[in-house]
Amino acid sequence: MNASISTTLAQGLDAIIEMDAPLAGHTWFGVGGNADMLARPRTQEALQELLRRCHNANLKVRVLGSGANLLVLDEGVDGVVLKLDQPAFTQWTFNADGKANTVLAPAGVDVLKLLNACVRQGLDGLCQMAGIPASMGGATRMNAGGKYGCIGDAIHSVATMNHRGEIQVHPHNAIQFSYRHSGLPQDLILWTLLQLTPGDPAALRKKMLEIYQFKKDSQPLAQQSAGCLFRNPIAPDGTRTSAGRLIDLAGMKGFSHGGAFVSAEHANFVCAHKDGRANDVLELARVIQERVFTCHGVSIEMEVAVWGRSYEPKEKK
């Protein structure tokens, strides 16, 4: 990004701007390159103006949440990376607009912090998110969850903002939630309204801790990874097959490539060493895909988002 464009984008904008910003520290993999510009708007109005300016300058915009489902390649990314981590985007509201048992959660809200707050308030509906690190925007976008349910189960409505700064509210019945998919337009997610149910705080805390313990016992949560790397593929009978089991049966547990390796605890977790490269992770992912197809005749797709200046995801067959 040349200096004149960056100056035009930042001029008079109520935002924290960093040029040539390292992104590795913003992701759970802890590896990867820099962004041409990292922008952290302080207000909704600043966000709207920035989106309009980026559109007028024909610049690509990417939204960085908690970085728990993201691999930034070593070449870094062009355009503008948005991080909604300022108070205007991280503070939730209980009983928004007088709606009982609801929580209005802007896109930058930490889902795990919100889960704990809801449990203390005696509100049930988010316990399935225990042990899943995510921002509300990212969790909503991919309908994050697992065997205990998905966040879409608790969503009442979602607001999105397009490149012109226009806001549209989508009710639950118009979103079409499915496995790792929300059906929302590719606009920026601004906030999510959750519809929860009353419950006993002590019972909810017990439920939350049990789910977290299950994940802690079966997943390498302390390693540098982005959680499950691949989606569970659909079997011929319409059921989903465990990608981790397919990788395990293909003999890939513990397999390493450069600075990346397949976890010995859970085969669908690919981890990076502290001195590893992001491209090692991507190359290992491709090796896993080839091995699984050779052994089982099954294609597995990456669940983790990949960012790179020249990266183009393969077309789905």
Q: Look up residue 274 and give its DSSP letter.
A: T
Q: Which of 87, 143, 117 is nearest to 196 (CA)?
A: 117
Asked if 180 is an active-site residue, the reply is yes
Residue 139 Cα distances to 115, 218, 279, angstroms? 13, 21, 25
Any long-range contacts for 254-258 (C-beta under 8 Å, 24+ apart)?
Answer: 255/284, 255/287, 255/288, 256/284, 257/283, 257/284, 257/287, 258/283, 258/284
Q: What token pair was written down for 302?
A: 């990456």
Phi first, then psi, for residue 297 (nearest 5°) are: 70, 25
Cα torsion angle, 234, 247, 276, 215, sign: positive
Q: Which of 40, 228, 271, 277 is catalytic?
A: 228
Phi first, then psi, for residue 270 (nearest 5°) are: -105, 130
Q: Is 133 helix (H, G, I), strand (E, B) or coil?
A: coil
Q: Which of 52, 180, 205, 231 is catalytic?
A: 180
Q: Which of 265, 283, 301, 303 is catalytic?
A: 303
Asked if 286 is an active-site residue, the reply is no
Asked if 271 is an active-site residue, the reply is no
Beta-bridge mates of residue 106: 191
Q: Look up residue 66 and give its DSSP letter.
A: S
Tokens 């797709």 correspond to 301
Q: Which of 38, 55, 173, 159 is nearest to 107 (CA)?
A: 159
Q: What token pair was written down for 53?
A: 């300016």
User: How many Å apart are CA 263 and CA 272, to the nearest integer?
Assistant: 10
Q: Is 260 helix (H, G, I), strand (E, B) or coil?
A: strand
Catalytically active residues are: 180, 228, 303
